[in-house]
Structure 1
C-alpha cells in the first residue's frame, strides 16, 4: 500500500489534504470477507479468507466462527508491538469480537490479532466487524487484512533513507471514519459488492449502505494519519481485466518486465473468474436434482440461479413435458404451446404474478428471441432490452403490459435440452442497475441449462413411467359393485409414498353359480411397471379360473403353476375366499398372505382367522389347503395387503392387533368402516415414530348378509320333455307367492327355454332348478353336461338356436359357467319397485 506522502508533509494542512486525496486511490488492500450468522456459524468464507487464515471454504462454512477467526482481542504489548497495537475499538467498544459473534453487536468493532501461519513465524491480522440488520436474521460482516503486508508495502514507499519513518510505519491499527471524511466512499460502494456473497442488487446496496453509515474502514498510523480502505481482492470488472491484459501484452512484446501491479500475486484473476463460475455451477448442480418430482425439480432450478446469477428467472416447458407424455417430437414452431411453470424473482412480492402467472400456456412468434432459442437450441443474449424490443415482446401478452418489467434489463434466454431435443427454456433477466450479461455469462448459462435440462429430463422420464404404470394399474383394478348376491362390499386402494410407488396390490370379486361370490386380495412383491403388469396377469388368471368354479385350494394350485410357466421372477401372495350366502359358509385358501379378520355381528368380536399360511405364488411345489368357516348374517370379512399393517422397524403383530381392533369399531357405513381402519393404522405407526406408510395398500371388506331360506326355492327335475311344463308351473306359482306376478310371464318363457336345453343335453336324469330372491331375481338351471351353450346365428327356417337369444333379450343379465359336476346356465331379472 502506498500512502502517497511522507511524515514531513503530513503535518501541513494543504499537504495533508493532498496526501489523503492521493491515498484514496492507493489504499486498496486485499481483504478477507466472512459473514457470521446469529448462531455464530460462518455462512460465507471468501477466497481472501482462505488465503489469510489457511482454511478451505468447505471446512469453514457451517462451523463456529470463534474456532476459525483469531480475533479474540488486541495484541498484547511487547517489544515489537507498540502500545498503539492494543487499539481500543471504535466508539468505546472493547476489541473482543468473540463476545460479539452471537449477534449482540450493536456498533462496529475493530482490532488486531496474532495468527500462526505455516511457513511464517507469525502474522498480524487487522479486522473490522459490522452488524447487519434485516430482512431476515441478523448477521455479522467481518473484513480482515494482513497487517504485515500493509506495513511492508508502505515501508517500501517510504524509502530506505528514513529509518525513523520505517519504524513509524510499524505502528498501524484499524479504525473507522464517517464516509464524509474521505472522498473514497463512492469507490468503496462500487468495490465492496464485488467481494460480498452473491446476492440481489437490493440486498447488496443495503449492506453497503450499512457499512458506510456505521463507519468507513480506515488504517490509522502512529502519526495520526488515516487512510481509507478499499477492497482489492475479488474479480475486477471486465474492462479492468481487459486493460490489465493489454498492459501485460505490451510489456511482454517490448521485453520489459511486468509493472508491479501486474505481477502474479499467487492467483491469476482471469483464472479466478473462471473458477468462480465453475464453483457456481458445481453449487447449482448440488442443489438441483434432489428429487425426481418434476414440479419440485423446476422450482429447484429456478431458485438456484436467483439472485446469484440473475434477478428474474422464468421457466417454460413444452406441453408434452408438462402433461407427462412421451418425448416431444420435432423442432418447435410457432404453434408449439409453452407452459410457464415457474417464475422466481427478487422484486417486491406479487409484482410478476398478475402479468406472467404460473400455469399459463402460450406460443411464441418467430420474431422473438425466445423462438430463436427454442429452434436453434442455443442461448440468445440481449445486452439490454430496448423499448422497441420490449414493445415487440409485450405484444403477445394481450391486455397485460409487461414492458415496465422488462425494458432496460439485460436478458439471457437459455434452452433446456436433453438428447438434442428442446424440452423448454429459461428467460433470465437482470436489473438495469446490475452489470449486463456478457459472453462469459452466455457460456455459464448454457452449461447451467445443460445440467438443468438433464435433471428435468430424468424427472420427466420418471414422471412418464409413473404415469404409464398408474394408468396400467388403474385399468386393471376392478370397479367392484357395492352389492353382490348376499353381501355388501367396500374397497380401498392407496398407492405407496416411496419412489416407484406403483405396485402389484389388487383386489377383486367374482360372481359364482349358486349365488356365491369369490373374494380375492393379492400382492405381487416389488414395485413399478413390471409388478403392475404381473398383477394384471394374475388377476386375469384368477378371474378365468374362478369362472370354472374351482375350489379355493385348487385355484391357488393352478395359479402357482401358471406363475411358473410365465417365467417371471416374481412372487405374489394371495388370499382367495368363496362366500356361500345360502349355506352361510366361507371357503378360504391362503398363499403366503396375511390372514383375514372376521368380525362377528353377535358381540362385535374380531379375530384373525387361523389359516394354513401356505407359500407365495411362484414358489412352486407347495400344497394349499381349503378351510371352511361358518358365518352368520351380518358378519364382516376384512382382507388387506401387508402395506396396511406393516412398516419397517415395527413388529407386524402391532399392525394386526390394530387392524382387529379398528375393524370391530362400529361405523355408519362400509365406506366409513374402511376409512376408520386406515386412519387407525396410520395413527398407530405415527405415534410409534415410524413415519408414514411406504407401501401400497389394497383393502376389501365384505358384510356377509346371507340369504334367508324363504328366499330360495329349489326343484329337482328329470331329463324328460314333460318336465319343461312342470318347471314353468312351479316357477309361476313361486313368483305369485313372493308377490312378483309382473315377472311371471317373462320368467315362465325363459325358464322353459333353459330347462328344454338341459333336458336335451343332460347325460343323466338329474336337473336342478333354483330361484333366489335378493336384490334381483336369479334363476339357475344345473345339469351334468360340461359343454357350455353359446349364442348362434339362426335363419328363418332353423329349428334350434333361438332359446338363448330369447333369454339374452328378456333378461337383465345372463351367463353360463362350469361347475364341478357339469354346468350352470342362469339369468337375472330386475325386481319391481315397491
Structure 2
C-alpha cells in the first residue's frame, strides 16, 4: 500500500472499533486488505487481493454491485447495508461506507469501510424504516468522529447551506460552513465527547454559505455515540432552522425595549431621539425622525410642512449620513417618498434604492448634496408617525452595512415601532401645550417688572419646575405703600398646573387689595386666611385635595419695610422665614413665629419687628430653594442657603441668580422663587415733621411751614397744592380728632403729606350739594393728590396724600 493510500485511509478513517477498511480499484477489484478486514471476514490478504469484491458478498448483494458502483461514481460515495460472506461461508450483516480515495496519478480507487452489525439484530427488521427516517427527515442530521470530521449526514442538512453529503465526508465544521462560529460549535462537540452528557437546544446565529447576506438561526443538539465497550466513537447532532422564530423573538424584544425606552420623558425632541436610538442597530443602520414644526410648540398637528429634524441615529459615529442636522428644517423635494407618506399616511418600502439618486432631504439652501451611493444607503422604509388619527411626521429607516434589504416583516415591525413612539410624541405634545399654557398664565400673573421706589433696591428670580407634574404656584411681589414704605411678599400655592397658577393669581390679587388698606402684616394674613377658608368651604374643597384651583394650604410671608426709620415688620403663614444679609456680609435667619398655612385654621398670626441697618438685604424665598432629598433636614437646607447667600457678587441681580443656580438645578422638582431687597434709609433732608397745636388759628402757620420746607427742597411749584392739602388735613384733625396732631412731609419719588392724630375714626369722602357749606375738604384733596388714604397705627391714625413730582398740578 502506497503512502498516499495510507494518508487517504488515515484522513477518511472511522474511529469505530469494529470498522474494517479495504481498497478497491475502479473495476471493483480488491487492491488493499487490512488486519481488521481479515478479523471481520477471515480472509488473508493473499486470499483476496486481486479478486473482485463481488466474491466477498452474498449472491443477492453481488447483483447490486453494478448499481452501487454507478451511484458511487455519481455521488462520490455510498453508505448502506450489505451481507458479506466469511471465509467459512457464514453470512454477516455489515454497514458499508464507500468513498473515493483517488491516487495522485489520477487512478480511481474506492475506500470501503465495513462495520459488523451482528449485535444489532433489530437493524435488519427496521432497515427500510430507518433509511426513510434519516433520508426523508426535515431535520438535518450528521455524525462526526472523535476528530470531529464528518462521517455521515442526511440530505436534509443541505438545506442549511451545507455541501452535498459526499462532499462533507472527512471535513471539519469550519471547512463545511466557513464564516460560522465553528470554534464554539466544535467546543460543544468536544464537551459531549468528554462528558457523555448530551447538549439539547443549543442556539447558534450566523450567516451560512448559502445565504451570506441574511442572518440565520439554528438550534442544535449533540449526543455522543459509544461502541459496545462504552468507548466514544463520535458525536451525532441534529440541526433545526429557527430563523423565523428567532426573528420574531428579536421583533418582540425590540418592541419591549421600545416600550421601556421611548417616552420616558414628556419632551418631544427627546422622545423622537429615543425612537432613533432604539431602532439602530436592531432594525436599521441609519434612522431619521422628522416632525411637523407645529408639534414642537405644542400646537395641534397641521398637515403641512415644514418638517423639523427632531432626532437621528446611525451605526457610524457622528452620523456621517446626515445631510440635515437635528433642529434644522428637513426640506424634502416635492414628490419625494417622505412627503408622499406624510400626505397619504401610508408606509412605503424600497428594497433597492437607485444608488445614483440624490438624497431626498437636500432641497435646502446650502444643504449638502449627496447621492445614496455616496452615503452608502441601499434599502429604505418610510413610515408616517400617526397618533389619534393625526399624522405627526415621518420616520425613515435606511440600511447601509447589512446587505439584506428590508422585507415585509421589517416594515410591519417599523410600523409598530413608530406607532408606539407616535403615541408618546403626541402625549409629549399635549403636555407641552398644557405646560406652556400654564407657564404663560403664571408669568402673566407674576409682576412683569418690579415697581421703582426708594425704600429698597430689589430683584427677583423665578425658576419653574420641569417634572411630569408641571409647574407650581410660587409667586412674589413688591407693593408700594403709603409713607414711602414697601411690602415684600413671597408665597407658594400647593399643587401644580393651571389650577395652581389660577389660585396663585387670585391670592396675589387679594394680597395687593389687602395691602392697599395699610394693614399690619399679621392682619393682612388674618384676612387672607379667612378669605381662603371661606372660598374652600364654598367650593367644597377639603384639606389635602389635589388637582384643584383652591389656595387652601398655601404659604405666604408678608414683610413691610419703612425707609424712614429702618423698621421692618413681618409675619408668615406656613412659609420659611426670610434670611437677612447684614452689611458686613454675614447671614442670619429671622426668628419668625410660624403661623398655620392659609385656610386650614389654627392660632392667630404673629408678627415680629426688627430694625435693619442701611445696606442690609432681605432674602424672601419659597421652600423649593431648600432642596429636599435623602437625609434632608431643615438645618441642612438653611446651611446650604446661608453659604450661597454669603458669596459676594458684583450686583444684587447677579447675586440673586447665583443663589438660585447654586441651590436649584436647571429642572428643579419644585418651583423656586427668590426675592432679594437691599434696604435704604431716607436722609434727614428728605423728611420733615412738626407738632401742630389743636388750634384752628394755627392752620395758616402750618401752611407756611410746609411752604418754606418745599422752598428748601426746590419744589416751589408744588407749594399751592401742598398748602391746600395741609390746610384741609390739619383742619379736619383739629375739628374731629383727639390727642396730639403731627404733620410730616416726605420727599422721595413722590411728595407725601401725612397728618397724624389720636382718633380712631376714618374720614369719608363726600360729594356735597351746591347748597352745603362744608364737606368739600377731602374732595379737593382727592382732586389735587395722586393718591390719598388713611393708615391706622397703635396710637391713632394717619391721613396721607401723595403728589407726583413728575407732573405737578398748578
Q: So what's the TM-score if we normalise by structure 2?
A: 0.63
User: Measured at CA, do residues 468 and 290 of structure 1 come closer, stay the same or move farther in structure 2, by a change above 3 Å?
Assistant: same
User: Structure 1 residue 607 and structure 2 residue 581: aligned?
Assistant: no
CA distance in 1, matches of 2:709, 2:379: 89
Per the alignment, in what secondary structure is the counterpart of residue 441 of structure 2?
Answer: helix
Per the alignment, in what secondary structure is the counterpart of residue 381 of structure 1?
Answer: strand
Match of 2:719 among 732, 748, 752: 748
User: Structure 1 residue 574 and structure 2 residue 556: aligned?
Assistant: yes
CA distance in 1, matches of 2:685, 2:423: 70
Offset at residue 427 of structure 1 (A)? 1.4
CA distance in 2, matches of 1:653, 1:10: 98
CA distance in 2, matches of 1:309, 1:9: 56
The answer for the alignment partner of 2:257 in structure 1 is 283
**Which segment drifts farther, 707-716 or 614-623?**
707-716
Offset at residue 412 of structure 1 (A)? 0.9
1:188-199 pair list within 5 angstroms: 188-189=178-179, 192=180
1:771-782 pair list within 5 angstroms: 771-775=745-749, 777-779=751-753
Q: Structure 1, unaligned stretches of length 5 or more?
A: 24-145, 160-170, 177-181, 196-210, 223-230, 245-263, 791-798, 809-813
The answer for the alignment partner of 1:706 in structure 2 is 681
The answer for the alignment partner of 2:805 in structure 1 is 829
Match of 2:568 among 573, 577, 586: 586
The answer for the alignment partner of 1:298 in structure 2 is 272
Per the alignment, in what secondary structure is the counterpart of residue 596 of structure 2?
Answer: coil
The answer for the alignment partner of 1:205 in structure 2 is none
Indicate if the aligned counterparts of 1:787 and 1:823 stay in contact, CA closer than 8 A: no
Offset at residue 822 of structure 1 (A)? 7.6
CA distance in 1, matches of 2:695, 2:209: 109
Q: So what's the TM-score if we normalise by structure 1?
A: 0.61
The answer for the alignment partner of 2:622 in structure 1 is 641
Per the alignment, in what secondary structure is the counterpart of residue 401 of structure 1?
Answer: coil
Match of 2:370 among 402, 424, 430: 402
Offset at residue 780 of structure 1 (A)? 5.4
CA distance in 1, matches of 2:293, 2:514: 44
Per the alignment, in what secondary structure is the counterpart of residue 735 of structure 1?
Answer: helix
Indicate if the aligned counterparts of 1:655 and 1:681 stay in contact, CA closer than 8 A: no
Offset at residue 363 of structure 1 (A)? 5.1
CA distance in 2, matches of 1:716, 1:495: 51
User: Structure 1 residue 360 and structure 2 residue 334: aligned?
Assistant: no
Offset at residue 346 of structure 1 (A)? 3.1
The answer for the alignment partner of 1:227 in structure 2 is none
The answer for the alignment partner of 2:160 in structure 1 is none
Per the alignment, in what secondary structure is the counterpart of residue 477 of structure 2?
Answer: strand
1:424-443 pair list within 5 angstroms: 424-431=393-400, 434-443=403-412
Indicate if the aligned counterparts of 1:385 and 1:410 stay in contact, CA closer than 8 A: yes
Per the alignment, in what secondary structure is the counterpart of residue 446 of structure 1?
Answer: helix
Indicate if the aligned counterparts of 2:345 and 2:391 stay in contact, CA closer than 8 A: yes
Offset at residue 399 of structure 1 (A)? 5.9
User: Measured at CA, do residues 591 and 281 of structure 1 come closer, stay the same or move farther in structure 2, by a change above 3 Å?
Assistant: same
Indicate if the aligned counterparts of 1:235 and 1:269 stay in contact, CA closer than 8 A: no
CA distance in 2, matches of 1:12, 1:818: 133
User: Measured at CA, do residues 524 and 599 of structure 1 come closer, stay the same or move farther in structure 2, by a change above 3 Å?
Assistant: same
The answer for the alignment partner of 1:381 in structure 2 is 349
Per the alignment, in what secondary structure is the counterpart of residue 494 of structure 2?
Answer: strand
CA distance in 1, matches of 2:381, 2:571: 67
User: Measured at CA, do residues 769 and 479 of structure 1 come closer, stay the same or move farther in structure 2, by a change above 3 Å?
Assistant: farther
Q: Which has the larger radius of gyration?
A: 2
Offset at residue 277 of structure 1 (A)? 2.0
The answer for the alignment partner of 1:508 in structure 2 is 477
User: Measured at CA, do residues 545 and 218 of structure 1 come closer, stay the same or move farther in structure 2, by a change above 3 Å?
Assistant: closer
Per the alignment, in what secondary structure is the counterpart of residue 594 of structure 2?
Answer: coil
Indicate if the aligned counterparts of 2:750 and 2:803 stay in contact, CA closer than 8 A: no
Indicate if the aligned counterparts of 2:384 and 2:393 stay in contact, CA closer than 8 A: yes
User: Measured at CA, do residues 816 and 402 of structure 1 come closer, stay the same or move farther in structure 2, by a change above 3 Å?
Assistant: farther
Offset at residue 302 of structure 1 (A)? 0.7
Indicate if the aligned counterparts of 2:331 and 2:362 stay in contact, CA closer than 8 A: no
CA distance in 1, matches of 2:497, 2:23: 81
RMSD (CA atoms)? 5.2
CA distance in 1, matches of 2:307, 2:694: 73
Offset at residue 674 of structure 1 (A)? 3.3
User: Measured at CA, do residues 681 and 402 of structure 1 come closer, stay the same or move farther in structure 2, by a change above 3 Å?
Assistant: closer
The answer for the alignment partner of 1:736 in structure 2 is 711
CA distance in 2, matches of 1:150, 1:817: 108
User: Structure 1 residue 310 and structure 2 residue 284: aligned?
Assistant: yes
CA distance in 1, matches of 2:421, 2:510: 45
Per the alignment, in what secondary structure is the counterpart of residue 423 of structure 1?
Answer: strand
Q: 1:741-780 deviations in whole A, cap 9, x for unaligned?
A: xx321x1344356558768998955697643223554455
Offset at residue 565 of structure 1 (A)? 2.7
User: Measured at CA, do residues 760 and 396 of structure 1 come closer, stay the same or move farther in structure 2, by a change above 3 Å?
Assistant: same
CA distance in 2, matches of 1:158, 1:417: 51
User: Measured at CA, do residues 492 and 716 of structure 1 come closer, stay the same or move farther in structure 2, by a change above 3 Å?
Assistant: same
CA distance in 2, matches of 1:236, 1:173: 16
Per the alignment, in what secondary structure is the counterpart of residue 575 of structure 1?
Answer: strand
**Which segment drifts farther, 443-452 or 533-542?**
533-542
1:240-251 pair list within 5 angstroms: none
In the comparison of the two structures, how many residue pairs are matched?
Answer: 606
User: Measured at CA, do residues 479 and 432 of structure 1 come closer, stay the same or move farther in structure 2, by a change above 3 Å?
Assistant: closer
Per the alignment, in what secondary structure is the counterpart of residue 654 of structure 1?
Answer: helix
Per the alignment, in what secondary structure is the counterpart of residue 550 of structure 1?
Answer: coil
Offset at residue 555 of structure 1 (A)? 0.9
CA distance in 2, matches of 1:619, 1:395: 63
Q: Structure 2, unaligned stretches of length 5 or more?
A: 1-10, 15-20, 27-70, 77-139, 156-168, 194-202, 217-237, 546-551, 768-775
Match of 1:561 among 527, 530, 537: 530
CA distance in 1, matches of 2:170, 2:280: 41
CA distance in 2, matches of 1:703, 1:393: 56
Indicate if the aligned counterparts of 1:317 and 1:339 stay in contact, CA closer than 8 A: yes
Q: 1:548-586 deviations in whole A, cap 9, x for unaligned?
A: 111211111111112123325441111111112223322
Indicate if the aligned counterparts of 1:524 and 1:531 stay in contact, CA closer than 8 A: yes
CA distance in 2, matches of 1:388, 1:768: 95
User: Measured at CA, do residues 822 and 356 of structure 1 come closer, stay the same or move farther in structure 2, by a change above 3 Å?
Assistant: same
Offset at residue 511 of structure 1 (A)? 0.7
Match of 1:342 among 311, 332, 344: 311
The answer for the alignment partner of 1:114 in structure 2 is none
Per the alignment, in what secondary structure is the counterpart of residue 643 of structure 1?
Answer: helix
CA distance in 1, matches of 2:703, 2:289: 75
User: Measured at CA, do residues 241 and 539 of structure 1 come closer, stay the same or move farther in structure 2, by a change above 3 Å?
Assistant: same
Q: 1:200-225 deviations in whole A, cap 9, x for unaligned?
A: xxxxxxxxxxx99x9999999x9xxx
User: Structure 1 residue 819 and structure 2 residue 791: aligned?
Assistant: yes
Offset at residue 156 of structure 1 (A)? 6.0
Per the alignment, in what secondary structure is the counterpart of residue 483 of structure 2?
Answer: coil
CA distance in 1, matches of 2:756, 2:576: 36
User: Measured at CA, do residues 445 and 173 of structure 1 come closer, stay the same or move farther in structure 2, by a change above 3 Å?
Assistant: same
